[in-house]
């Protein structure tokens, strides 16, 4: 009887432990980028909208052999963050980014209606929203 309780507990716990929400834990390799900015989205923006926005703004049109696309010229990678209830991403530029690519990436994102704000050269934990 004692072993049956353990088996039942494991059967109940396994489905809970095996669930993983990809949208909540996105991560990308930064490939040495240290010059970064943070883009925050309005609170009402859905995760799917953010995903599609990032695909359009950070990917090139060159397919990657293992799926997806290579990053846009000038982008090393990005990491998801939450800042005071806003979904956001810290996006790092590649070490060899040109001034033109850097400006184009920032301008391209800044004009989007779902973007709350863009913060340059700041750690996401240091951002204070009013």
- What pLDDT score does 7 carry? 39
Give whichever of 6-10, 18-22, 97-101 has the largest mean pLDDT. 97-101
The helices-and-strands tally (H runs, E runs) of the chain is 3, 6
Structure tokens at 47: 């995760």
Which SS3 state, helix, strand or coil, does residue 36 take? Answer: strand
Sequence ranges of the domains in the chain: 22-126
Beta strand 36-41 with 115-120 is antiparallel
CATH superfamily of 22-126: ACT domain (3.30.70.260)
Structure tokens at 11: 């059967």
Residues 6 or more apart whose CB falls under 8 angstroms from that of 8 comprise: none
pLDDT in tens, 23-68: 443 444 444 556 899 999 999 999 999 999 999 999 999 999 998 8
In terms of Cβ atoms closer than 10 Å to its own Cβ (0-12, 13-18, 19+), residue 47 is middle
Query: pLDDT: is 99 or 7 the higher one?
Result: 99
What percent of the chain clears pLDDT 90, i.e. is strictly above it?
A: 59
Mean pLDDT of all residues belonging to the chain: 80
């Amino acid at each position: 009887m004692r072993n049956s309780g353990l088996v039942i507990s494991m059967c109940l716990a396994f489905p809970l432990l095996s669930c993983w929400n990809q949208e909540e834990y996105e991560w990308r390799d930064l490939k040495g980028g240290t010059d970064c900015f943070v883009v925050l989205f309005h609170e009402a923006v859905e995760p799917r909208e953010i995903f599609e926005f990032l695909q359009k703004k950070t990917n090139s049109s060159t397919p990657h052999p293992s799926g997806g696309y290579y990053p846009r010229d000038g982008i090393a990678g990005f990491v998801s963050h939450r800042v005071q209830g806003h979904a956001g991403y810290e996006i790092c530029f590649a070490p060899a980014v040109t001034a033109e690519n850097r400006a184009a990436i920032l301008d391209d994102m800044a004009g989007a209606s779902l973007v709350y704000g863009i913060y340059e050269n700041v750690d996401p934990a240091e951002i204070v929203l009013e």
